[in-house]
Amino acid sequence: MDRLSLTFSALADPTRRAILARLSSGPASVNELAAPFSMSLPAVSKHLKVLERAQLISRGKEAQWRPCEIKAEPLKEADAWIEQYRQMWEERFDRLDAYLMELQAQGKPTATETAKRGKVAPKRKKNGSNK
């Protein structure tokens, strides 16, 4: 599985997202990460393994303490992937906004204005006639 798929798969679970949110404020032990959840330590460890496999966290070794730490690179890659779609949608909304302003300048009601007046535009048949 590619890294982006692993990232989104790991982020699909709300518990793992909560763990990452906690780690965004600094390293934490498994016990500290498990504290807010009503689940066993082995269950939290399974979530941590998924995050580790997706390279979203790293686990260190400091004597008896194995702190978990967030790793930003996979999140940056996911953000870059999402960003291209955000830009596409913004461009589409900008074109729609320009079109609606053009309609208003021509004095033509928009679909929203027509709906507010309680009038529904007639549906057009596939061949383009209204018969």
Domain positions in the chain are 3-74, 75-108
| SS3 of residue 24 by DSSP | coil
3 state SS of 87: helix
Radius of gyration of the chain from its Cα atoms, rounded to whole angstroms: 25
What's the whole-model pTM score?
Answer: 0.68
- Contact between residue 78 and residue 67 where contact means Cβ atoms under 8 Å apart: no
| 3-74 belongs to CATH 3.30.450.40 | no
Asked if 16 and 6 count as a contact pair (C-beta separation under 8 A), the reply is: no
- 44 contact partners, CB below 8 Å, separation of at least 6: 19, 30, 33, 34, 37
What's the longest Cα–Cα distance across the chain?
82
Q: φ, ψ for residue 70 (rounded to 5)?
A: -75, 145
Residue-level pLDDT at 14: 97
| Residues lower than pLDDT 50 in the chain | 131
